[in-house]
Amino acid sequence: TAGSMLEHHIETLLDVCNYKFDAQKSIEEGEVLDFIFPDIKYAKKNPAFSISVECQNTLKDRVRLTQGKLQHSSIQRHLFTASGLNAATDSDHQDLTNNKIKELKNSGVTLVIYKSVKEDKFKHEPSVISFEDFFNNVYPQASKIWKKK
């Protein structure tokens, strides 16, 4: 379905780049995670050093589902979205409101968006990062810790 396209693209890239991850796994009953890094077994033992990623093509209504997942866990939570450039819909640039960014931030979720949108609209907002930041900084820093444990 169209709703899972971003997730599919991300999974394909992760596979091609040989990233360590599990997809569609649960840590807490009833909460299926799109991606968990490096894998579900490690995340259960070492949540503070693990990363969760949810994917949403747009941030219209389903953003609260992401906010609700892993609320009582120390796992780093991220939300990947295609919103911002009208790539997912003709009006997805309207999804990135200050209120939505604030809600995510208050829930401990880092929003991951296109680099140009980050630079144009959220340059000084640390709870919003680009895909480049995630894959060039967040994942590599965490993977250094995974190798030690």
Cα 41 → chain centroid? 19
Q: How many CB atoms lie within 10 A of CB 4?
A: 12
Whole-angstrom Cα distance, residue 118 to residue 38? 26
pLDDT at 86: 86
The per-residue pLDDT for range 38-77, each reduced to its tens digit, is: 999 999 999 999 999 999 888 875 666 666 676 667 999 9
pLDDT at 58: 82
% the chain with pLDDT above 70 = 90
CA angle 58-64-67, nearest 5°?
110
> What pTM does this model have?
0.90
The per-residue pLDDT for range 74-96, each reduced to its tens digit, is: 999 999 998 888 877 888 888 88
